Amino acid sequence: MKSREKIIEEINNLTITAAEIEELIEIENTKFIFAYQTWYSSALKVVELLAPDRYDEFRSYYEIDPNRKTFGYGTYVIQDFIKNIVPAKIANFDFILRTKNNFNNQHAILLSIKKRANSIIDNINLALLSELQDEELENARKILLVSPRAAGALAGVIIEYHLQKVTEKNNIEIKKKNPTISDLNDPLKNQGIYDTASWRKISYLADIRNLCSHKKEIEPTKEQVGELIDGANWLIKNIQ
C-alpha cells in the first residue's frame, strides 16, 4: 500500500484537476475526453482502495449499463458522451449538462474521501495489521506446545504493538521511548478509549507477559500463556 502522504497528495491532485477538466466539457470536447480518461483511471483506483462501498456508484456515472432498457436523462452516462451517443427520441437533449452532472457526482465522491482520508487509511492499516496479528497469534499457539515462555513473549509483543497503534490513532502522546503494556494501558484508560474493566484485563495480561519475558524462578504455565494469547486476540478484535 502506498504511504499516507502519497495517497493524500494523489487525492488532492485529482480534486484540483477535476475543476480544470469540468471547464473543458463545453470548451473542447477532445481535450476533455483525453483529460477525463486519465483522471478517471486514477480516481477509480483511489475509490476502490479507500471507499469500496462507493466504487460501483462511481463507475455507474461513467459506464454504460449493458442492461439499459431506456435511454435518457436518467441513464445517460459519460461513456455515451465520449462515444458521441445522444438519445434520438428526446428533442434538444442537453448532453453537456448531463455529462457535467455525472462528472460532478464522481467529483463529490472523491471530495468525501478527501475529507476523511486520514481516518480511512487508519482503518485500512488497522485491518491489515489485524490480519497479520491473527497469523502471529496462530504461531504463538503452536509455539505454546513447545515453549510457553516463548509463546507468551510473542503474544506480549503483539499486545504492546497493538496498543501503540491505538495510541497513535487517538493522538495520545506517550513520552517513554520504549513503552511497556502498562505504560500504554494507563493513558488509554485515562483518555476514555476503554473502561476500567478492560484496563484491569490488560493489566492482568501485562503481568503474564512480564512473567514470560523476564527470567524468574517461576515458569509461566500453559494455562496462563493460553489466557495471554486469548487476551491478545480479544484486544485486537475489540480495542481499536
- Closest by CA to 174, choosing from 190, 159, 156, 155, is 190
| pTM beyond cutoff 0.75 | no
Same domain, 77 and 152: no
Q: What is the pLDDT of residue 103?
A: 94
Does residue 188 sit in the same domain as residue 157? yes
CB 156 within 8 A of CB 228: yes
126 and 229 both lie in a single domain: yes
pLDDT reading at 126 higher than 70:
no
Local confidence band at 98 (pLDDT 50, 70, 90 cut-offs): very high
The set of residues, in sequence order, having a beta carbon less than 8 Å from that of 205 and lying 6+ positions away, is 156, 159, 181, 227, 228, 231, 232, 235
Q: Domain ends where: 115, 148, 168?
A: 115
Q: Is the pLDDT of residue 128 over 70?
A: no
Question: How many domains does the chain fold into?
Answer: 2
**29-46: pLDDT as tens digits:** 788 889 999 999 989 988
> Is pLDDT larger for residue 178 or for residue 229?
229
The reply to whether 100 and 207 lie within a common domain is: no
Structural domain that includes position 66: 4-115
Q: What pLDDT does 134 receive?
A: 82
More confident residue, 61 or 12: 61
